[in-house]
Homo-oligomer: A and B are copies of this chain.
Amino acid sequence: VATTPSGDPTATGRLATDPQATAALLVEALPYIRRFRDKVVVVKYGGNALSDGAGGEGRALASFAEDVVLLRSVGVLPVVVHGGGPQIGDLMRRLGKESEFRDGLRVTDAETLDIARMVLVGKVNRDIVSAINVHGPLAVGLSGEDANLITAAAHSVELGYVGSVSEIDPTIVVRLVAEGLIPVLATIGADEAGQAYNINADTVAGAVAVALGAEKLVFLTDTEGLRADPADPSTLIRQAGAADLDALVAAGAASGGMAPKAEACADAVRAGVDRAHILDGRVPHALLLELFTDGGVGTMVVR
């Protein structure tokens, strides 16, 4: 007979001091857990998050992978979309090839495309899949070329093999999700003739969310969220509608990488996605906090 608590001392200590707060949080979280069960949540994980310094990369990725696996464990259906701009730049430098940008997009000749594809599909995608699969046989890497997932077209002649999305065929993603797996998607697409293109990952994330009828689209970034004035942290926008985002983009407030995210959010909620979020991926477990508590993190976009 043991008269000591059945749990471990730390946990019991916490509960002993505040079981009511714990119960209250459970009562708050359980309805969310029920609500998101069997619902698709598309999460865009940025290349920046993967390269933020010595050691940091590994920790941030491991924490993200844990959240994705926990979501899956309670029945949420996460689909991960990722970019990899910084990593593409690295390999180009190592190969002595210079990157040229126009309007923030990398001019992509055949060799650059080959490099981008190797980095996105053969490195970044692999790193994310591996981080998730430490927890079990869950993640499967996909490129937009697989099973005609992303049909692409050239974005403009001068950018070369930079593509825009012509069509998303989500069949393979739906199948893998139905099998209990977590698809991790590199944003290479192909046209009807089999020519590959590199596509902006924010745009793909939005289009995939729409094609899947996702409940939520979440961008994990390295900022707190969208600001009315990019230079002023006190102007963080907590909630906005699609039209608000259109105005911000038109006014130039969503500068740099924020513009495609803002546009993807606006397009997604207009096309039926219930909520879109731009979150601070640097907050540990930002995904869990957003999905399962009343309190919000970052910017929420509603219809």
Contacts and interface: CB of A to CB of B under 8 A. Distances in A.
Interface in A240-297: 240, 244, 283-285, 288-289, 292-297
Nearest to A171: B137
A22 B283 CA distance: 12
Interface in A114-133: 114, 117-123, 125-126, 129-131, 133
A4 interface: yes
Interface residues of A, number: 94
Interface stretch (A67-75, A102-110, A157-165): A67-75
Given A4-B239, A123-B114, A181-B172, A141 B134 contact: no
Nearest to A91: B118
Interface in A162-185: 169, 171-172, 175, 179, 181
Contacts of A188: 126
Contact of A295 (B5, B34, B119): B5
Interface of A: 1-8, 11-12, 14-16, 19-20, 22-23, 25-31, 33-34, 37, 66, 70, 73-75, 91, 94-95, 114, 117-123, 125-126, 129-131, 133-134, 136-143, 145-149, 169, 171-172, 175, 179, 181, 188, 190, 193-194, 196, 228, 235-240, 244, 283-285, 288-289, 292-297, 300
